[in-house]
Amino acid sequence: MQSAAIVAARIARARHTLVLTGAGISAESGVPTFRDAQTGLWSRYRPEDLATPEAFRRDPALIWRWYEWRRGLVAAAAPNAGHRALADLARRVSLTLVTQNVDGMHQRAGSPGTICLHGDLFRNICSITRLAIEPEWIAAHGDEEPPPSPHHPDGYARPGVVWFGENLPQDALDAALAAARRCDVVLSIGTSGMVHPAAGLPGEAQRNGAWFAEINPQRTALSDGADLVVADTAARVLPAIVAALSGA
């Protein structure tokens, strides 16, 4: 694959590489993306309408059930060749991996120090205090949807993810921006580039002189700004990049 070889050659010469991933990297694991069509039970909801504090206040049981469904789906899925190739790449070159995903797949594939901008699907926090809630508490209140919070009488357990209108974890954002400013190569993989500040990272890297490649079978909000667009899937392209790097 010609374009994989081009990306590999850039990475081989780079002092540091930044990789930004989105839901598309987990698509080949069977985890639905946000903006591609939904199927089944939840097809009448738009995920972005369920991922807000207002939605949770309006109908906490609905939101809790939706996240429980997603947790079950992700727990039953496995990292794919794309996730594994990125873990492999991090063992070969200096690389920062920043993900918008909350599914834990990069960590399960063995990527060290993954920066999670949007939180962790499997954590629970108090809807009012935002303090962490232990799994044992959730298990003991598992028949309540959602379980109550141990930290506040009016609070509920909610997933430890970032919803629209909420701030990203500052330490994660700072680390991602620092990597954007020092990398020579930035890759955007499987993201529509619609949600900021994550979507601004490739541009920030480019303003600091980095070369930018996008890996996505569809064109996105970031495609026009990319130096190279590889119009193929993550599980096909990423192993080809690692193979080209090994051969280089």
Q: Which residues are annotated as a binding site?
A: 67, 70, 100-103, 190-192, 216-218, 234
Contact residues for ligand OAD, defined by CB under 6 A: 22-24, 27-28, 33-36, 48, 51, 100, 118, 161-162, 190-192, 194-195, 216-218, 220, 233-234
CB of 203 to ligand OAD, least distance (A): 15
Nearer to ligand OAD, 30 or 142 (CB): 30
CB of 219 to ligand OAD, least distance (A): 8
Q: Which of 16, 83, 106, 118 is an active site residue?
A: 118
User: Is 106 marked active-site?
Assistant: no
- The residues facing 124 across adjacent strands are 133, 159
CA dihedral 98, 99, 105, 109 (to 10 degrees): -20
Task: Name the maximum alpha-carbon separation found in the chain.
Answer: 60
Residue nearest to ligand OAD (CB): 24
> Cα 129 to the chain's mean position, in Å?
25
d(CA 38, CA 82): 22
Q: Residues annotated in the binding site for substrate, as ranges?
A: 67, 70
Nearer to ligand OAD, 161 or 244 (CB): 161
Q: Which helix (H) or strand (E) holds 81?
A: helix 81-92
Asked if residue 190 lies in contact with residue 234, where contact means CB atoms within 8 angstroms, the answer is yes
CB of 5 to ligand OAD, least distance (A): 19
Helical pair 81-92 and 234-247, crossing angle rounded to 10 deg: 30
As a whole number of Å, the CA-based R_g of the chain is: 19
Q: Residues annotated in the binding site for NAD(+), as ranges?
A: 100-103, 190-192, 216-218, 234
Nearer to ligand OAD, 120 or 152 (CB): 120
Nearer to ligand OAD, 34 or 137 (CB): 34
> Cα 33 to the chain's mean position, in Å?
10
Catalytic residues: 118
